[in-house]
Amino acid sequence: MLNPIADVAGFARRVIAWQRESGRHDLPWQGTRDPYRIWLSEIMLQQTQVATVAGYYTRFLQRFPDVASLARASQDDVMPYWAGLGYYARARNLHRCARTVLEQYDGRFPHGIDDLGQLPGIGRSTAAAIAVFAFGARHPIMDGNVKRVFTRYFGIAGDTSRRAVEQSLWAAAHSVVAAAPAKADIAAYIQGLMDLGASLCSRTRPRCDACPLASDCYARRTATQGDFPTRKNRKARPERHCQMLILRRDGCVLLEQRPAPGIWGGLWSLPQYDDPEAMRTALWNWGLAPAQASPLEGLQHAFSHFTLHIEPWLAQAGASSLAQPAPAQAWRRIDELDSAALPAPVKKLLARVF
C-alpha cells in the first residue's frame, strides 16, 4: 500500500531545495547540456560507483571528445578506455550507439525520449535522464538509488525486479513529476533523487535525521528502513575454475581477444583453458613439455553471477618454435601492456610477473 500521507505535490520541491543546498555539484559531467557527455556519463554510471567512473570519464573524453570521434574509431580503439569498468557490453553498445547517431541523426542526439530509447544500450531510464539533463524535458528516472528512496518513502514492498513492483515505482515517479510546479527545475530534482540515494538514503544506516523527506516517509515513520527495498533471496554464487597461460617470447606475451558477446567480449586476455588437458595440449603445440610451465599463485575474481578461480601458468616459448598464434591471438610487447584493453584480473596477473 502506498504511503497514505505522502506529500506528492511537495515531493519534488523538497528534493530540489535539498539538492541545491546539500547535493553534489562538482561531478565532472555536471554543468553541461551536451547530450554526448551526459549520455557517456549515464552509461558509465550503470551499475558502477561514481568514484570509479570519474577517472574513466575524463580519460575517455580526452580520447573521444565528441560522438563523431567515437563513431569513427574502431572497437579495438575504444576498449582500452573501458577496460576495468566491467559490464563490457556497455562499451560495445556505446560504440554502436555513436555510429547510429552519426549515421542516422547526422551526429546529433534526438530530443525525444522514444527516439533516444531506441538507440543501442539506452533504456527507459537512461533515455529520460538524457532528455532531462540535455534538453530540459520533464520525465522521471528509475535507477537503484531512486528505487531505494521511492520504496522507503511510499512504502512499496516486493522485489523491485518484478513487473508489478516496477510498475508501482514508475507510477509513483510519474505522479511526482506531474505534480511538480510548471517552473520546477526537473534536472535538479532528478539529480537530487540520485544524490539522496547515494548519501542519506543509503542501504545501511540511512541518515533520516537530515533527509528532506523524513517527516512523512513511510519507512521512517514505521521504523522499517531496513525492510525497503525488499531483499531478494540470493542463491549461492556458482564457482568456476580455469587455467590461463602466460607465454613469453622475445619481450612479448601472447594475448587472445575474447569473442563478443560474452565475458570480457572485445578485450584482450590470456589464453584460457577449462581443464589441465587443454593446457597441456596448448603447451605441446608451442613445442613445450608441461614440465616447462611453472604454476603461479592463483587469483579469484567475482562476477555478478559467478566466481572465477584462475590458475595461471608461466612458460617461455623457444625462439626456434615454428608455432604461430591462432587467428584471435597476437604477441603484445610487455612494455606496451599498460595501453592494452585487458580485464582487471588479467592486469593483476601480468603485474605480478612483469
For residue 329, give the DSSP letter: E
Q: Give the gyration radius of the chain's Cα atoms.
A: 24
The count of other CB atoms within 10 Å of the CB of residue 158 is 15
In the chain, helix, strand, coil percent, each to 5? 45, 10, 40
> How far apart are alpha carbons 16 and 188 in whole angstroms?
6
Chain Cα centroid distance, residue 10? 33
> How far apart are alpha carbons 45 and 39 in whole angstroms?
10
Residue 42 designated active-site = yes
The one catalytic residue in 42, 166, 256, 277 is 42
Three cell numbers, residue 3: 504511503
Three cell numbers, residue 11: 515531493
Chain Cα centroid distance, residue 42? 9
Q: What are phi and psi of 281, to 5 degrees?
A: -60, -40
What amino acid positions are annotated as catalytic residues?
Answer: 42
